[in-house]
Amino acid sequence: MTDEGLVITGISKSFGGVRVLRDVSLRARPGAVTALIGPNGAGKTTLANIVSGFERPDAGRIDVSGHDLTRRGPDRRATAGLARTFQNLEIFTGLTVIDNVVMGAYGRGGAGLLSAVVGLPRARRADRRARAAAEELLDRFGLTALADAPVESLPFGQAKLVELARVLALEPRVVVLDEPVAGLPAESVRAVGEQVTRMAGAGAAVLLIEHNMRLVMEISDHIAVLDHGELLMEGEPAEVRADPRVIEAYLGPDADRIAPRRES
Amino acid sequence: MAVSRIRRWRPTTPVITAVLLAAMPLIFISDFARAIQLRFCVMLLLLTGLNFINGYARMSSLAQAGFYGLGAYTAGILAARLDVPPALAFVAAPVLATVAALVIGAASLRLRATYFTMATLGAGYILYILFGRMTGVTGGPNGLLGIPALSVAGIEISGPLPMYVLAAVLALLGVVVAYNFERSRAGRALRALGASEPAAVASGVRAFRLRLFAFALSGCYAGVAGALETFDATFVSPSSFGFLTAVLCVVGLTVGGAGRAAGPLIGAALLTALDELGTEYAGYEMLIVGLVFLVVVQAFPGGVAGAAGARWPRRGARPAVARATEGSAS
């Protein structure tokens, strides 16, 4: 059976009578970057929350690799191989950089509570393995020198990279990234872009929510446009760029000189 | 460069605790000193337990005094009124306190932080009222008398020194377990949950279950502390387990350094010292507590342990920039 990646089917959601999402269906294929774009308030983050289990949809279902996860909580979805980042930086302050990354692998299992408290060798071995994997990831993100630093001492751009490394530690099949480069300087944007491409290259289905259109056009294999809670269109970057509806709804008249639309 | 790579060995909290607990009775040998030392062990257990929920999980529980009292009364009632062998009564104390924590935690740990604190305040207070009002069982405000001496396998543990040794061994065991836990996968997850619940949950942490586990541990430690108190004093009265004790536990841990291994140790030392000051400057001790609390939380948000950690960082906890340059230079 081929892995179907992330399949979003007929998702609807209202908040107090306001329709935020209306019958949204979308697929993120394994090994590809699927971008979800749209103006502010289009419902992108709500969709990310529904996909990752932080919010319950009124209707519709979420499948990951052929498993229906609609009724599972966010912790159980992590166990099923679904990882996400957050729009606002969510890191584990008080933990070192490497412990932040090791935490990402939590959903893959390990020693139980009691063997950990007693300090059984089995628990120590599992911990060493998780550490070795985290070290490899830090190396890949150029963060090796910072491994033992408290994560709160890092500048914003590097903290964002730690968040990405943490997500990868889960070895996820599906990754949801909610505006991973918002507020980042140009060189960090490039670094994040490379890592996202690499995630997909390794076989993960990546759902990328992003306002930085240059990045989206550059690294996406497929783009879906959300407007007023409905899927306006989807297609390859070139198609989306050329579609008059998208230009009108989102990109504005200067579609050729697409710049990040993030209001600063 | 080579010099900076040499690991400076720093004593860990369990080592410091062991040395302290072993040295104290050798340096101060009077029965009066022994009572203070035992008090320190009891405080250390209370605060080390509280550190699981108030420190690592960053939830604020005010129920620690209630669990402490529950442990004390469980041991006392079983041994004095129901003729249960004292050793068994001692063991029953943490068991019942843990069960109580599981029940109270199950009802309150899904609440948001502030409401959880209110719920634990209520639960702790209900326990306190029960200790004072169930006169037939607890002896009420007059206290519970007639607690027999503790004995294990025919060997009697009574008198200041044997009781202290027992208290010291249990306190050290508690500190070692907490230290192992902090470094374990579950301990890391609990600290992560305290720092960012969304990210922890998205990493697969079962938030409610883990918090319940932490809360149960805090209850268990308080139960041990209560049993020690009962068999040492051979008398239990409700006044030791009220609101004041609950607040003092939170203040002691916060000033010592919540979420840090050394925090309970420092906090317990401060609370024990305060206990002595209190007898000398009766009536002013809460004023002292308030002032110390205000100054410390303003000046050192991480408590004394946090401030010390920043002044003498652990290996690897040096500023990020320094390490980054070092990495690129090598």
Q: Pick the residue with more confidence: B154 or A260?
A: B154
Element of type H or E holding B157: strand B155-157
Predicted confidence at residue B96, as pLDDT, reads: 97
Q: Pick the residue with more confidence: B41 or B34?
A: B41
Of A2, A208, A73, which Cα lies nearest the Cα of B110? A73
Chain A hits for B324, CB-CB cut-off 8 Å, are 145-146
Asked if the Cβ–Cβ distance from B184 to A95 is below 8 Å, we say: no
pLDDT at position B312 over 80:
no
User: A234 vs chain B: nearest CA distance in angstroms?
Assistant: 28
Predicted confidence at residue A112, as pLDDT, reads: 63
Interface subset of B 225-284, CB within 8 angstroms of A: 259
pLDDT tens-digit profile of B270-284?
A: 999 888 877 777 777
Predicted confidence at residue B306, as pLDDT, reads: 85
pLDDT at position B117 over 60:
yes
Nearest to B195 among A52, A93, A130 (CB): A93
Predicted confidence at residue A64, as pLDDT, reads: 93
Average pLDDT over residues B170-198: 94
Asked if the Cβ–Cβ distance from A52 to B328 is below 8 Å, we say: no
Q: Which phi and psi (to 5°) does residue A223 adopt? A: -130, 135
The size of the A-B interface in CB pairs under 8 A is 128
Predicted confidence at residue A244, as pLDDT, reads: 84
Q: Pick the residue with more confidence: B48 or B3?
A: B48
Asked if the Cβ–Cβ distance from B177 to A117 is below 8 Å, we say: yes
pLDDT 10s digit of each residue in chain A, 264 long? 467 899 999 999 999 888 999 999 999 999 999 999 988 888 999 999 999 999 999 999 999 988 999 999 999 999 999 999 999 899 999 999 999 999 999 988 766 666 666 667 777 787 888 899 999 999 999 999 999 999 999 999 899 999 999 999 999 999 999 999 988 988 889 999 999 999 999 999 999 999 888 999 999 999 999 988 999 889 999 888 888 887 777 655 554 555 444 444
pLDDT at position B8 over 80:
no
- Which residue in chain A is spatially nearest to B211 when comparing CA positions? A113
Predicted confidence at residue B277, as pLDDT, reads: 77
Asked if the Cβ–Cβ distance from A78 to B198 is below 8 Å, we say: no
User: A79 vs chain B: nearest CA distance in angstroms?
Assistant: 6
Is the minimum CB–CB distance between B4 and chain A shorter than 8 Å? no
pLDDT at position B1 over 60:
no
Predicted confidence at residue B269, as pLDDT, reads: 94
The correct CATH number of B11-329 out of 1.20.81, 2.60.40, 1.10.3210, 1.10.3470 is 1.10.3470
Predicted confidence at residue A118, as pLDDT, reads: 63
pLDDT tens-digit profile of B237-282?
A: 999 999 999 999 999 999 999 999 999 999 999 999 888 877 777 7
Is the minimum CB–CB distance between B68 and chain A shorter than 8 Å? no
- Which residue in chain A is spatially nearest to B205 when comparing CA positions? A75
